[in-house]
Chain A
Amino acid sequence: MVEIKNLHKTFGKNKVLNGVDLSINKGGIFAVLGPNGSGKTTIIKSILGMVIPDSGDITVLDTNIKQNSEYRKNIDYLPQIANFPSNLRVIELIRMIKDLRKQTDDDVRLIDVFKLQPFLNKKLGTLSGGTKQKVNILLAFMFDSPIIILDEPTTGLDPISLIRLKELIANEKKKGKTILITSHIMSFVEEVADEIVFILEGKIYFKGSIQELKNKTNQMDFEHAIANILTENHV
């Protein structure tokens, strides 16, 4: 589904990706983890074509993404920071994205799930951070694409919405979709992720299940396993 070969990217003098190879060939939930500045967001943005890599190839559903934009109709993306044009109303934003992408009726269901009805006619600039994140989630989940990328999906959510989000993610997984998640909340990752992709200094340091990670680091719980990698590599 997603195939990354020898990806390099430098921002100014800062070498962020240093030959990343990653192949995800099946459905399931993949958590992309790593310390701050390890290149998680850069990898995700490269898959989305927002960051242009210096070298290397990325294929999404057997299409090379270079100079291509159509493949993005197969990807639903939840950006890290929910910033929207502030003088647009919620309902207008939803209509606009539908108009730009394709028509769907899923938004009605999702508006109900996240109880967004009272906010539909409010301007996006006046919404609270959590409500914005709900709108963000709605936009990401309403298109039913085979690949879903979630960058820090839990930011700002209240407990009920967090439960709803987990249900939503589990449902999408059941449909056989590939879901990429980045998060700093280890308990969330442990709960939802099937596989861990750990990035360190612009390279894939580890890829496998949580159990394999625990075995590799000789730690009983997940959080300590991650901490163990970080201390051993002097991060």
Chain B
Amino acid sequence: MFKILKYCFFDLMRSSWSYVYFGFYLLLGIMLLFLNNDLSKAVITLMNIIIVLVPLIGTIFGVMYYYNSKEFTELLLAQPLKRSSIFLGQYLGVAFSLSMSLILGLGIPFIVYGLFKSNAIWDFSLLLIVGVFLTFIFSALAFNIALSHENKIKGFGYAILLWLFLAIIYDGLFLMSLILFEDYPLDKVSLIGTMLNPIDLSRTLIILKLDISALLGYTGAVFKQFFGTSFGLIISFSALLIWVGLPVMRIIVKSKKKDF
């Protein structure tokens, strides 16, 4: 598996896409830090961008890479290699290279800015950790979609739809259901609802870390009570891990049964 991971990683590192992605974050980091001068505001803006953009790039890139490397995959399938190592290797190659673009692209301007001397280092680290989690989650979901659909257009369509649902539609539905059932106690429901969507979960984690939960009113207090404790933190990171684990498991199962 590591050999395949290595080849995919280097293959991607050579593609211009990785550089565009890296360059984008580099530019974003520089602009936010050096034109804004307020570190905590920069982190909030970054959060808003990362939370939406990282899943989108992870999804599109994952689907694209799978379809583009079809020939490579067929070449590998005829070699004495396990199917699970072929697909996990490819998946990890994509996820690692995307994470690297993210970490380096944002990390470099922050280090130049003097991050190590500031208090924002923990907020910033959490931001990167969440970004890496989202990359791994959404490229795994993308691989799942691509494995299930031979037709590229369909695969792309479903991938975009998935992103749209989790990034935007889910929130809308969630909000509407909260309004609809406002006569009932909803704190537990909304906690669970947040857990079920990795994007919401990431957003909540960062907002609470940034100490702006007062903006959320009563719900914020409930959330703070839960996510602020180490128990809540463990639960939410476990939820993120499950969000990575389940799709990865499905990649293994699905790839074993697929015809090429």
Q: Kindly state the separation between the CA atoms of A77 and B76 in the bound complex, as whole angstroms.
A: 11
Q: Are B11 and A88 in contact (CB under 8 A)?
A: yes
Q: Are A87 and B11 in contact (CB under 8 A)?
A: yes
CB distance from A47 to the nearest CB of B (A): 10
Q: Are B71 and A85 in contact (CB under 8 A)?
A: yes
Instruction: Spot the interface stretch: A31-39, A64-72, A104-112, A223-231.
Output: A64-72
Highest count of chain A CB atoms <10 Å: which of B79, B81, B257, B260: B79
For B81, give its contact among A45, A69, A75, A83 (CB under 8 Å).
A69
Residues of chain B with a CB closer than 8 A to A69's CB? 80-83
Q: Kindly state the separation between the CA atoms of A109 and B256 in the bound complex, as whole angstroms.
A: 36
Flag A98-118 by CB within 8 Å of B: 1 or 0 each: 011100000000000000000
Mark out the residues of chain B between 1 and 19 whose CB falls within 8 Å of any chain A CB in the assembled complex: 3-4, 7, 11, 14-15
For A101, give its contact among B7, B69, B80 (CB under 8 Å).
B80
CB distance from A134 to the nearest CB of B (A): 16
For A72, give its contact among B4, B71, B78, B259 (CB under 8 Å).
B78
In the complex, whether A127 has a CB less than 8 A from a CB of chain B is no
Nearest residue in A to B75 (C-beta to C-beta)?
Answer: A84
For A83, give its contact among B7, B74, B83, B256 (CB under 8 Å).
B74
Residues of chain B with a CB closer than 8 A to A96's CB? 7
CB distance from B85 to the nearest CB of A (A): 9
Give the bracket for the number of chain A residues in contact with chain B. 20 to 34
Q: Are B11 and A70 in contact (CB under 8 A)?
A: no
Q: Kindly state the separation between the CA atoms of A50 and B70 in the bound complex, as whole angstroms.
A: 13
Q: Are A71 and B260 in contact (CB under 8 A)?
A: no
Q: Kindly state the separation between the CA atoms of A88 and B3 in the bound complex, as whole angstroms.
A: 16
In the complex, whether A27 has a CB less than 8 A from a CB of chain B is no
Nearest residue in A to B76 (C-beta to C-beta)?
Answer: A100
Q: Are B259 and A49 in contact (CB under 8 A)?
A: no
In the complex, whether B231 has a CB less than 8 A from a CB of chain A is no
Q: Are B74 and A79 in contact (CB under 8 A)?
A: yes
Q: Kindly state the separation between the CA atoms of A217 and B28 in the bound complex, as whole angstroms.
A: 75
Contacts from B to A (Cβ < 8 Å): 3-4, 7, 11, 14-15, 69-72, 74-83, 256-260
Q: List 15 A-B contacts (CB under 8 A).
A: A50-B259, A51-B259, A51-B260, A52-B258, A72-B79, A75-B78, A79-B74, A83-B70, A83-B71, A84-B71, A85-B72, A87-B11, A97-B75, A99-B3, A100-B76
Not counting A50-B260, A85-B75, A100-B81, a sample of 10 additional A-B residue pairs whose C-beta atoms are within 8 angstroms of each other reads A50-B74, A71-B80, A72-B79, A72-B80, A75-B78, A85-B11, A85-B72, A96-B7, A97-B79, A101-B79
